Amino acid sequence: MFGFRLRRSGRKKSDDYTCEETGVVEGSVCEPSSMFKSQLRRGVVALLALLLLGATLTPLMLYEWSPVPSHCPVPEPVRPVEAKLVPTYHGPAVEFPDRFTLVLNSFRRPQLLQRAVAHYAQCRSVDAVRVIWCEGGLPPTRAEAPQYYSDVKEVRYDIVSNSSLNNRFWPLEGLRTEAVLSLDDDILAPCEVLDELFALWRRDPHNMAGFYPRLHVLDKQCRYRYLQGFGTLTWHGAYSLVLTKAAMLHRDYLEYYTNHMDPAVRQHVDAVHNCEDLAMSLLVASATARPPAFLHSPRVVDLGKGLLKVKGISSG
């Protein structure tokens, strides 16, 4: 398909055909043939035509898209008129308003946990690293496994009796910050990006801020469907919530979720071993009457996705 013309003195004309057919002649210098140049021009023109067509059709497709199909009844929006009074955290007063507590969620992935502890303990804005320990038995001691701890930050293992996903929102004892960053052990985020999220959260500290947006829409059967992936936000330009596998929230919501939310919600989370992020998002939205904040950062890596995929704690 792609031919080259031979340029070398002392060669026969037949060598031109050899170079055009194979594209390689040892010890010779070849230049693109007229056939190759013509094919290249056609390819460039076709690519430009596709780009122009996409630029023309995309706005029309976005304009026609609707979260409610035309044959479905439009649901009445249920929005709180005003913010609710959130039950307050039962522990000590805030000691460090300029820091946040990192709550790590991990389950039988020791290498990821050790790497997460070592990395996030280096972040200046982190007051302490709290690990939800639900693997049964006692966590390793510092003497037994120093790699589970840090010399620069407090690392504390909070033992829970089961592997319920509700445990990630347990109102931990001794929280010294009002800001809590809920993070799965397979999320890698640079310290400076966490500082950006913290700054965003502090603008509206009773709301939630996170890295992973999600959207819900009605499908053709008029049932709600959960759209995943960052492409959803890029395509639709909207989101409904942010996932709690990497989100910052006020410590008061831990108290609210565990001790004051309808128990049937937590029972459903245990039954399906999922949806705890939806429950917390709805809880915060009902309390604030505002959407969550979203921070886009390509530097945040989810090891549960793509080539580096590892088994996640919960789907999202």
State the catalytic residues.
Answer: 277
Q: Cα(283)–Cα(261) distance, rounded to whole angstroms?
A: 8
Helices (H) then strands (E): counts for the chain: 8, 14
Q: Cα(194)–Cα(176) distance, rounded to whole angstroms?
A: 18
**Token pair for residue 194?**
């966490």
Cβ–Cβ < 8 Å for 253, 86: yes
Long-range contacts of 189-193 (CB under 8 A, 24+ apart): 189/246, 189/297, 189/299, 189/300, 189/301, 190/299, 191/120, 191/122, 191/123, 191/124, 191/125, 191/126, 193/295, 193/297, 193/299, 193/300
Q: Cα(24)–Cα(73) distance, rounded to whole angstroms?
A: 66
Q: Cα(105)–Cα(208) distance, rounded to whole angstroms?
A: 18
Q: Cα(173)–Cα(258) distance, rounded to whole angstroms?
A: 13
**Token pair for residue 1?**
């398909």
Q: Cα(203)–Cα(291) distance, rounded to whole angstroms?
A: 13
Contacts of 288 (CB under 8 A, 6+ apart): 83, 204, 206, 207
